[in-house]
């Protein structure tokens, strides 16, 4: 099924993101976690693409498995380290596996990258994918602006170009303050971006994630959220429970304000995905 059809459905959608293992010896444990998340019957599941492209075969393999389990897969694909031939091969493999949805990304450019990118921006990859078959194409967006953008308006202008190239829906970077998302939504619509925008929510359940969030420049942490982290950062069980409660509250507020799609950065954690799904059972 195409994700655009899911997002245009009557009911709100709740989807989960998973990532492939970095090495083959981790494949079985990751596969098990992913299958448990698939068992929650999410609206769809996305599978990330390794920054250097090294784990790309796993992205396709996991997407194919998800399809076999009856869950609509969304395979990520990035410009970093992608030649035209590689993109052609990846798309052929996805097509053969029956995967209909691709999230086209630029990827983060490694500091030591020597040769320029074949596809400089995600919009160029979107155009390439559009010319290579009947995929439903999604893209990333940043309610707080992409860190490389000189101005917020530049970022929205480039986002509009990405949509004009054929991006049918967008998924946001994580955010912890819903007002920032509502403000972004308003400005995106004002700029003529009229595709569905899925809100990306990260349930913070451990200290490592907190470090990751802090490393993503520009992610605003509301006082309410900081107080939770300060209080429970050394108590793993309490932090996990509080993080899931905070994410649940964010999602309830989003649904109550008419947002139709929420994507949870579930980080291969079936127990977190299950609790979020359970907390929202009557809303979905």
Catalytic residue among 17, 90, 128, 144: 17
Q: In the set 36, 149, 241, 279, which binds ligand FAD (CB under 6 A)? A: 149
Question: Does 144 help bind ligand FAD (rule: CB under 6 A)?
Answer: no
Residues 248, 272 contacting (CB under 8 angstroms): no
CB atoms within 10 A of CB 234: 9
Using CB under 6 A as the binding rule, whether residue 88 contacts ligand FAD is answered as no
By CB under 6 A, is residue 173 in contact with ligand FAD? yes
- CA 88 – CA 90 distance, rounded (Å): 6
The number of beta carbons lying within 10 Å of the beta carbon of residue 18 is: 26
Taking a C-beta distance cutoff of 8 angstroms, is the pair 212, 237 a contact? no
Give the C-alpha separation, 250 to 137, whole Å. 26
Close Cβ partners of 281 (under 8 Å, ≥ 6 residues apart): none
Tell the smallest beta-carbon distance from residue 81 to ligand FAD (Å): 10
The binder of ligand FAD chosen from 60, 171, 209, 250 (CB under 6 A): 171
165 scored as a contact of ligand FAD (CB under 6 A): no
Q: Which stretch binds ligand FAD (CB under 6 A): 89-97, 152-160, 254-262, 267-275?
A: 152-160
* Segment (H or E) for 130: helix 122-130
Write out the two tokens for 183: 């403000």
- Cα–Cα nearest to 199, from 212, 216, 217, 185: 185
Q: Does 60 bind ligand FAD (CB under 6 A)?
A: no
CA atoms of 245 and 26, how far apart (whole Å): 30
Number of residues that bind ligand FAD (CB under 6 A): 23
The two tokens of residue 72 are: 């609509």
**How many whole angstroms separate alpha carbon 240 and alpha carbon 247?**
11
Instruction: Single out the segment in contact with ligand FAD by CB under 6 A; choices: 121-129, 186-194, 245-253, 272-280.
Output: 121-129
- For ligand FAD, which stretch binds (CB under 6 A), given 27-35, 102-110, 186-194, 245-253? 102-110
Q: Applying CB under 6 A, does 155 fall inside the site for ligand FAD?
A: yes
Q: Is 10 a catalytic residue?
A: no
Instruction: Based on the shown chain and the rule CB under 6 A, indicate whether residue 121 belongs to the binding site for ligand FAD.
Output: yes
Q: Write out the binding residues for ligand FAD, residues 186-205 only, by CB under 6 A.
A: 200
Please, which residue, 54 or 98, has the CB nearer to ligand FAD?
A: 54
Torsion of CA 25, 27, 32, 36, to 10 degrees: 150
**Span 19-58, contacts to ligand FAD by CB under 6 A:** 48-49, 51
- Closer residue to ligand FAD (CB): 64 or 76: 76
DSSP-derived secondary structure letter, 1: -
Give the residue numbers annotated as catalytic, written as ranges: 17
Q: Which residues bind ligand FAD (CB under 6 A)?
A: 48-49, 51, 76, 78, 105-108, 121-123, 140, 146, 148-149, 154-155, 158, 162, 171, 173, 200
């Amino acid at each position: 099924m195409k994700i655009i059809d899911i997002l245009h459905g009557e009911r709100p959608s709740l989807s989960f993101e998973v990532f492939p293992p970095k090495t083959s010896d981790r494949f079985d444990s990751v596969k098990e976690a992913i299958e448990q998340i698939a068992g929650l019957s999410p609206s769809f599941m996305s599978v990330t693409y390794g920054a250097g492209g090294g784990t790309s075969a796993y992205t396709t393999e996991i997407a194919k498995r998800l399809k076999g389990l009856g869950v609509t897969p969304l395979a990520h694909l990035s410009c970093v380290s992608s030649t035209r031939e590689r993109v052609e091969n990846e798309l052929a493999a996805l097509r053969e596996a029956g995967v209909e949805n691709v999230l086209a990304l630029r990827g983060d450019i490694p500091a030591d990258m020597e040769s320029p990118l074949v596809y400089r921006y995600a919009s160029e990859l979107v155009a390439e994918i559009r010319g290579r078959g009947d995929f439903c194409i999604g893209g990333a967006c940043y309610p707080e602006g992409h860190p490389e953008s000189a101005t917020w308006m530049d970022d929205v202008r480039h986002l509009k170009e990405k949509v004009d190239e054929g991006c049918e829906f967008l998924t946001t970077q994580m955010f912890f303050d819903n007002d920032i998302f509502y403000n972004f939504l308003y400005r995106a619509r004002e700029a003529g971006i009229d595709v569905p925008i899925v809100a990306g929510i990260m349930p913070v359940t451990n200290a490592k994630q907190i470090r990751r969030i802090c490393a993503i420049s520009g992610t605003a942490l509301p006082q309410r959220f900081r107080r939770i982290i300060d209080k429970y950062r050394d108590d793993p069980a309490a932090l996990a429970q509080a993080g899931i409660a905070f994410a649940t509250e964010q999602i309830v507020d989003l649904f109550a304000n008419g947002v139709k799609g929420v994507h949870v950065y579930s980080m291969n954690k079936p127990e977190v995905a299950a609790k979020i799904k359970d907390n929202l059972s009557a809303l979905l």
